[in-house]
Amino acid sequence: MLHFKDVTLRLGGKPLLEGVSFHLPKGHRGGLVGRNGAGKTSLFKLITNEYHPDSGDVQRPKHASLGLVAQEIASGLDLTVLAFVLAADTERARLLEEAATESDPDTLGHIHERLLAISAYDAEARAAKILLGLGFSHEAQHKSMRDFSGGWRMRVALACALFLEPDLLLLDEPTNHLDLEASLWLEGYLRSYPRTIFLISHDRTFLNAVCDRIYHLEGKRITFYNGDFDFFEKTRRERLALIEAERTKQDAARAHMQKFIDRFRFKSSKARQVQSRIKQLSKFEPLSTMDEDPLMALSFPEPTQLAPPLMTLDNVSVGYGGPMILKRLNQRLDPQDRIALLGANGNGKTTFAKLLAGVLAPSQGQITRAHKITVGYYHQHQVESLRLDHTAFDHMADLMRGTPESKIRARLGRFGFPGDKADVKVEKLSGGEKARLNFALISFAAPQILILDEPTNHLDIETRESLIFALNAYEGAVILITHDWHLLEMTADQIWVAKDQTIIPFEGTLEDYKREVMGPSGRSEAKVAKADTLSKSRADEIREKKQAKKKKAPPPAPKKKKK
């Protein structure tokens, strides 16, 4: 389905890919992994012909359809969400229009045959099912695209790509705009996708669930692993261990030769042996076990310990000036709490996070905070609002006024900004680097509580692992809102669920929650409940009518006794 043959790509004169060759067979689901900046998105742009290789060849079948998620939706905003997805199938739309105006019976017959062949009459149900899985209720599906934020429009763009069922589906970080429930649904959908998938992801759980082949981009080349992400990681670790062992042997041999050369360099009787060893030494190729850039370790500052509880909520309600979004909130936060805040989007998770962070004041009830408590609140809007013409050092210096430069730089170094890296303008930073800078900014005051709303968006796998270590070493309380299952598994020990306009504890494990969300049919019951065409009141009305009919129905006639 997809062939890269000795492909080299240079951007701005700098080689990004060198001699890359790999094959993705038809019907397989490949995952492209690698550290941020390795060139994964650029490789995708070669597939879509947005970039052209400096040398080599990128091949895919001429008549194979290619599907990708649009990065921006600028037109069609007056359409409903469902109509927008249906309009993505331009052939179906054209044929239906022709069928409505065509008068020739033979031509009309051919049109209907083609409509049947492409399952045009089932399209609306299929589109609605995809949208439902991605979090759009039936009511939401009939709202205008203008009513939705950029993140929700990205979900619509993903729905369009899935609806078209292209022969080769390209997905670049498809879970970034999804909540956990929608991510779980997408996993199941892609596992049964009937064609070929090539996706970029830093979510190891998602890669394990979906992919049967891993392509690792490192050092400007691709290494292929025939298995899921766990197989890739295990195999690569073993390969690196072999390389390390070989390098140790090589270093010992080099040291032995160098010792001989140094000892007998000026002895004429040993001149030939010395020259021979010098030649051998020059032929040794140095072995490397990692990228040029070392792995970065995140480290949150240790907070001042406060007596528990850090925060209590007593019958709190909160909203935005209109109807209450959350009610009956009765929670308590203690030091070292590790809480996963789950629930479908739209149920109030971000509202609850803002309430705890002090961004929103309670409309009713009482919040009691420990004296001198500070809260670090991470959310995507902060990342997007970083000043592009400022450096990481500028941002941190604004918060740490009067602090010696050496201490500011030391703080930034804990978040992957050593030396000159701290002096690079934000506009030149990658998404992952901006996220790390935001971690540094929200934790500069050594908060006793960290609230992290989708912290792993744009982070590569290595940085996500570093975040796990940092959170487990952190002495304060943590509340996590994330679709990254691995992060939750490795850090959270409590589950709170946003549901029915409140936050409730979930008595069970993450796996228990997953089973409850997905249900026996393998799709999200939470989303089905949210997206049900019948409102709760309507369902009650129907139930009451059925009961009334039963009461009104005449009793069954008594059976006649046999004579």
Spatial distance between the Cα atoms of 392 and 410, rounded to a whole number of angstroms: 12
Residue 549 has pLDDT above 60, yes or no: no
pLDDT of residue 37: 82
Q: Which two tokens stand for residue 537?
A: 């009141």
Spatial distance between the Cα atoms of 388 and 503, rounded to a whole number of angstroms: 37
Section 84-105 average pLDDT: 88
CB-based contacts of 280, cutoff 8 Å, min separation 6: 257
3-state secondary structure of 20: strand
Residue among 308, 297, 296, 298 nearest 476 (CA): 308
Residue 289 has pLDDT above 50, yes or no: no
Q: H/E/C letters for each residue in 413-438?
A: HCCCCCHHHHHCEHHHCCHHHHHHHH
pLDDT, tens digit (0-9, with 9 covering 90-100), for 311-357? 999 999 999 988 999 999 999 999 989 999 999 888 999 999 999 99
Instruction: Among 203-207, 289-293, 357-361, name the one with the lowest average pLDDT.
Output: 289-293
CB-based contacts of 131, cutoff 8 Å, min separation 6: 81, 82, 85, 140, 141, 156, 159
Question: Element (H or E) spanning 494, and its range?
Answer: strand 494-499
Q: Is residue 417 within 8 Å of 392, Cβ to Cβ?
A: yes
Residue 239 has pLDDT above 80, yes or no: no
Residue 394 has pLDDT above 70, yes or no: yes
Domains (ranges, CATH) in the chain? 1-65+166-254 (3.40.50.300), 311-509 (3.40.50.300)
pLDDT of residue 258: 78
Residue 247 has pLDDT above 90, yes or no: no
Residue among 63, 118, 130, 64 nearest 93 (CA): 118
Q: Which two tokens stand for residue 546?
A: 């059925």
CB-based contacts of 301, cutoff 8 Å, min separation 6: 411, 414, 443, 444, 446
CB-based contacts of 429, cutoff 8 Å, min separation 6: 392, 437
Per-residue pLDDT band for 520 (boundaries 50, 70, 90) equals low
Instruction: For the chain, give the mean pLDDT.
Output: 85
Residue 430 has pLDDT above 90, yes or no: no
pLDDT, tens digit (0-9, with 9 covering 90-100), for 403-427? 999 999 999 998 989 889 999 999 9
3-state secondary structure of 319: strand
Q: Is 60 exposed, middle or buried (0-12, 13-18, 19+ CB in 10 A)?
A: middle
Q: Which two tokens stand for residue 368?
A: 């009691």
Give the ranges where 171-228 is alpha helix by DSSP (H).
180-191, 204-210
User: No. of H helices and E strands in the chain?
Assistant: 21, 19
Q: Where are the beta strands (DSSP E) in 402-493?
A: 449-453, 477-481
The sign of the dihedral angle between the CA atoms of 45, 49, 52, 58 is: positive
The model's pTM is 0.77
Q: DSSP secondary structure string, 134-155?
A: TT--HHHHTSBGGGS-HHHHHH
Residue 14 has pLDDT above 90, yes or no: no
3-state secondary structure of 126: helix
Q: Is residue 327 within 8 Å of 503, Cβ to Cβ?
A: no
Q: Is residue 164 within 8 Å of 65, Cβ to Cβ?
A: yes
The sign of the dihedral angle between the CA atoms of 338, 520, 198, 42 is: negative
Total Cβ atoms within 10 A of residue 50: 10
Section 226-237 average pLDDT: 90
pLDDT, tens digit (0-9, with 9 covering 90-100), for 453-498? 999 988 888 889 899 999 999 999 999 999 999 999 999 999 999 9
Spatial distance between the Cα atoms of 2 and 96, rounded to a whole number of angstroms: 33
Section 45-52 average pLDDT: 94
Torsion of CA 450, 309, 349, 512, to 10 degrees: 100
pLDDT of residue 250: 65
pLDDT of residue 282: 67
Spatial distance between the Cα atoms of 264 and 304, rounded to a whole number of angstroms: 62
pLDDT of residue 292: 42
Residue 563 has pLDDT above 90, yes or no: no
Backbone angles phi, psi at 212, to 5 degrees: -115, 0
Q: Is residue 128 within 8 Å of 82, Cβ to Cβ?
A: yes
> Which percentage of the chain shows pLDDT scores above 70?
86
Section 542-547 average pLDDT: 43
- Does the bond joining 25 to the residue before it have cis omega, within 30 degrees of 0? no
Total Cβ atoms within 10 A of residue 293: 12
pLDDT of residue 286: 53
